[in-house]
Amino acid sequence: MKMLVTRPEPDAQSSVARLGALGIEAVAAPLMVRRTLSFSAPPAAGFSAVAVTSTNALRALAEREALAAFLHLPLFAVGDRTAHEARQLGFTEVYAAGGTLDTLVTAIARARVEGPIFYAAGKHLSGDLAHALAAHGLMVVTTTVYDMVAQPDLSSEVLGQIEAGAFDAVLVYSQRTAEIFCAATTSLSPDARKNLAFICLSEKVAQPLIGARFNRLYLSDHPSEEAMMSLALAFAREQTGS
């Protein structure tokens, strides 16, 4: 059993290691790389909370030495992994939502946050947190702190392995990654396309793959790394009969 992990580093190596612990061989082929942008974080005074939808936002703030001023504020994270990263970086009051933008909006609204929220965001957003929270009477100040730059080409070695059926499944964590993968694999033969399986974080992530006529799609029942690992293990057992 061998799988391809397409998420950016350093998370790709973390997933490879976790798959290895489950007895699944894995290879990392990141299709995006994080680039920290030049930005000016607003003064922390006056904000009531911080919101983040990715660990990459926290890493970018840390790289620009912009975290310290906000550490005293409650932080709302999109999911458990981002919440863990926030605690590691020094936030003490951290709330983890259920892994989606909708659950993050619900968590912030239910907390009855008073005053503006500082949202450290990426350049490519899958949803509009500020617009969603405006419906709850909350103001969000968004600062774009990082960009995920596409790596549009898979190596010839990886492409050759995919064509030869060396990978039983590909792990895909974002819709944009799925789009990049589809663009990078237009040369695949119909047989290779038919046989390749995908383990996807959500139905939304899988949509570009469906459009590109990849048909073996497995959807995680929760948008988290833990759920992805559980699905990968279940897939491996199903395929090997063990």
The strand pairing partners of 140, in sequence order, are 117
| Residue that is last in its domain, among 91, 125, 149 | 149
CB burial of residue 211 (10 Å; 0-12, 13-18, 19+): exposed
At residue 185, the 3 state secondary structure works out as coil
| Residue that is last in its domain, among 93, 128, 149 | 149
**Which residue matches tokens 């790709």?**
12
Helix-helix angle 55-63:80-88, to 10 degrees: 20
As a whole number, the mean pLDDT across the chain is: 95
Residues 39 and 137 in one domain: yes
Residues 27 and 47 in one domain: no
Q: Which domain, by its residues, includes 160? A: 2-31+152-240
Non-local (6+) Cβ contacts of 187 within 8 A are: 159
pLDDT tens for the chain, 242 residues long, are 999 999 999 999 999 999 999 999 999 999 999 999 999 999 999 899 999 999 999 999 999 999 999 999 999 999 999 999 999 999 999 999 998 999 999 999 999 998 899 999 999 887 899 999 999 999 999 999 999 999 988 999 999 999 999 999 999 999 999 999 999 999 999 999 999 999 999 999 999 999 999 999 999 999 999 999 999 999 999 998 87
Residues 136 and 223 in one domain: no
Q: What is the CATH number of the domain that holds 213?
A: 3.40.50.10090
Within its chain, how far is the Cα of 68 from the centroid?
24
pLDDT tens track for 82-127 = 999 999 999 999 999 998 999 999 999 999 998 899 999 999 887 8
Q: Are 104 and 125 in contact (CB under 8 A)?
A: no
